[in-house]
Chain A
Amino acid sequence: DAGVIQSPRHEVTEMGQEVTLRCKPISGHDYLFWYRQTMMRGLELLIYFNNNVPIDDSGMPEDRFSAKMPNASFSTLKIQPSEPRDSAVYFCASSLGGGAFNEQFFGPGTRLTVL
């Protein structure tokens, strides 16, 4: 398996622009997680899905952030409008089965820079 795939790997945009990050989970995995990593706050869970349905979005920082999972093999995280403080590395992870004991497999991340 190719593992979790994220695109783009790097994104540089200007403040106010819309940003869309993409994720393809490991085939057969039924949970998908979006994380944000910053120096100040470390790794934070933004939202997670089970069978394409958002379960917990309490970590989404603001209404400017939205996430969708239209099918089992694709998810997006959108920021509109983007702000410099959104600059971070965004990780997507997937797992087979629920429960905190299930290993989450992480993608390589998208490094977002908002100027």
Chain B
Amino acid sequence: AQSVTQPDIHITVSEGASLELRCNYSYGATPYLFWYVQSPGQGLQLLLKYFSGDTLVQGIKGFEAEFKRSQSSFNLRKPSVHWSDAAEYFCAVGTSGTYKYIFGTGTRLKVLA
């Protein structure tokens, strides 16, 4: 069965520091991969997505993610975190033949001033 694992429940970084949020998936074929961000009291907003092609994907708000098939990973990165990036981040996989996303359990990011 398809699954998504986000091993870090909470991450705290200082403003200006770099960030990497981990995501591992389990799926037999090439997945469709997404990162969403949820600010407090808000719905989910798409940061970036990967379907095929270049394995390094650029998204909004200065985020990028790299698809590594050999590691079944799709980690999210940002070179310099801003206080406004404090939120919860969800990795999701979409599988061909269905219209469903499977979401990870999320990583809550705290940014120290």
Interface residues of A (CB under 8 A from B): 4, 31, 42-43, 45, 48, 50, 55-56, 91, 93, 95, 98-109
Is the pair A42, B103 in contact by a Cβ cutoff of 8 Å? yes
How many chain B residues touch A (CB < 8 A): the figure is 25
Is the pair B43, A91 in contact by a Cβ cutoff of 8 Å? yes
Is the pair B43, A107 in contact by a Cβ cutoff of 8 Å? yes
Is the pair A91, B32 in contact by a Cβ cutoff of 8 Å? no
Residues of A within 8 A of B43 (CB): 4, 91, 93, 106-109
Residues of A within 8 A of B104 (CB): 42
Is the pair B90, A43 in contact by a Cβ cutoff of 8 Å? yes
Q: Which of B34-56 contact A (CB under 8 A)?
A: 34, 36, 41-46, 49, 51
Is the pair A100, B99 in contact by a Cβ cutoff of 8 Å? yes
Q: Which of B56-110 contact A (CB under 8 A)?
A: 90, 93-101, 103-106
CA distance A55 to B97 in the complex (A): 13
Is the pair A48, B94 in contact by a Cβ cutoff of 8 Å? no
Residues of A within 8 A of B93 (CB): 100
- The contact sample of 15 A-B pairs, CB cut-off 8 A, is A4-B43, A42-B105, A45-B101, A56-B99, A56-B100, A98-B99, A100-B93, A100-B95, A100-B96, A100-B101, A101-B49, A101-B94, A106-B36, A106-B43, A109-B42
